[in-house]
Structure formats: C-alpha cells, structure tokens
Amino acid sequence: MTTESQGRSLLWFDTHLHVSPDDDFEAMVAAARAAGVGGFLVQGTSLDDCGSTAALGDPARGIYAAAGLHPHVASSFDGLSLFRDLLARPAVVAVGEIGLDYHYNLSPPERQREVFAVFLELASALGKPAVIHCRDAYADCRQLVRDHLRPGIPFIIHSFTGTPDEAGEWLGMGAMLSMNGMVTFNKAVNIREALAVIPVERLLLETDSPYLAPAPYRGRTNCPAFLPLVGQRVAREKGLTAEALAAVTTGNACRLLNVELPAIEPAGMS
C-alpha cells in the first residue's frame, strides 16, 4: 500500500481537499508525493465543480473523488441525475461534501436540511461513504444522519471541531472523525481535548486545502504537501510515532473508501 518517493514512503492519505480550475493539480500532487502523501480524496461541492473534480480521479495514482452539494449551495439543488452519473464512475468513491452549515447560512437552514437528507439517502442507496460538513449545526446534523443514513454506511465528519462529548456521540453512531491543520493552532485546545478521546482506529487526516494551513504556515494557501505537519501533531498528541499514525490513518481511509493505494514509481526513476 506504500511506495517510495524521493527516499520517503508514501504513508499519508489526504481525505479532504479542494481543487479549483486555476490550480496546477499535477504540481500539487507531485509536491505532496515528495512530502510523503500517497492518497487523495478530492471533494466535489457544487453543480459547477463536481464534474471537473470527478475527472481528476485516477485510482492508478491513488487519486479519488467525491461528489456532492455543499450546504452553502444547497439552494442550487435541482435533482440527483448529475450526481448519480458521477458516482457511477470507479474513481468517485464517496458522496460529499454534504451537510449543514448554520454559521453562514448561505442557503436557508430548512433547504440545507432537505438537501442533506436527500444525499444521505443517496449514499445509503449506493452503499458509498458520506463526507459530512457540520458547522454550528450539531444537533440537526446528528438527527438527520440517524434518520436518513442507513445503518452500516460509513461516514466521515470532516474538519471535526466539536467537544469530547460530541466526538463520543459521533463515534457511537459509527463515524470516522477527521483532523486538519486546526489541530496545530495554539488556541485550538478544544480540538486537542476531543482528539484525546478519539481512538486512532477512528481517525482520518485531511488538509481541507486550500483552507486552514497548519502551523507554521497558518495564513498561507494550504496544500496536500502540508498534511504531514497535521499528522505529526496528531501523532504527538496521541503518543505515537508519525510513521505509526500514518500507517493507521491511511489504513483507515483505505478501508472506509474501499480503495487501495497503488505502487507508484517515483518520478525521474526507472
């Protein structure tokens, strides 16, 4: 499940990143591989970007995609046809990014809940994992998952920032919880307190790039190459070596998404 890139094993799996049309995706992947990142799950979030995101998927290179509608644009929902077509592709392995965001309410909360329920039911029907965004909406998000996601369907609470009690609730429902660069922020004590109660077998890592770059790059544009900095801090908090945490979290990602990371020959070597 791993290979060597510039003398370093490809150990890490970035389970949540965003790519815009202006990004040099090939350069992004190359830099990440040089840093030890071998797996990528690129998120589709809108009617405009889901198609281009799905086109990036390339299982032979450890690149996978998700397709869904972010709560910010829930008002644009006009049916599932596009998403069903995209999710039929082998490289599109998850339904996401979906969920609720009451912090900004860029779509009305009622519409967010309606659309979230529809996508949870789609994940249930297809048997694909759901990638869930939950901001300032814990109670409603939890209830909708209980009501609309079939038991046994895996799901990720991405960018987890809740309390230890909320982490326990999600874990009791079967969630995987994903940590990103916020875990490195000096004032993010609440995230590290929650991390303490999450078993490593239920942890995932992400960058959420281009957002939330970890220290010491906070405030800069984030990228998958920064994922090892997230992993190193999580490993320290959990009392593990970075190598051990990378092996566990990458294994978690592969099992949840039902994928394998291929052996990839490093660039410039034969």
Instruction: Determine the Cα–Cα distance for residues 267 and 76; give it in Å rounded to an integer.
Output: 41
Residue 193 lies in a domain: yes
- Domain around 169: 4-257
Structural domain count of the chain: 1
Residues 85, 58: contact at Cβ < 8 Å?
no
**Closest among 221, 223, 220, 165 to 198, alpha carbons compared:** 165
In a domain, 266, yes or no: no
146 within a domain of the structure (yes/no): yes
Find, among 68, 98, 71, the residue nearest to 86 by Cα: 68
Residue 224 lies in a domain: yes
In a domain? residue 267: no
Task: Confirm whether 270 is domain-assigned.
Answer: no
* CATH number reported for the structural domain that contains residue 225 in this entry: 3.20.20.140
The verdict on residue 39 lying in a domain is yes
Residue 263 lies in a domain: no
- Could you read off the pLDDT tens digit of each residue along the chain, which spans 270 residues? 333 333 346 699 999 999 999 999 999 999 999 999 999 999 999 999 999 999 999 999 999 999 999 999 999 999 999 999 999 999 999 999 999 999 999 999 999 999 999 999 999 999 999 999 999 999 999 999 999 999 999 999 999 999 999 999 999 999 999 999 999 999 999 999 999 999 999 999 999 999 999 999 999 999 999 999 999 999 999 999 999 999 999 999 999 999 999 876 544 333
- Residue 187, CA distances (Å) to 92, 184, 193, 264 in order: 36, 9, 12, 38
**The token pair that represents 261 in the structure block:** 């990371």
3-state secondary structure 177-240: EEECHHHHCCCCHHHHHHHCCCCHHHEEECCCECCCCCCCCCCCCCCHHHHHHHHHHHHHHHCC
Cis peptide before 216 (omega within 30 of 0): yes
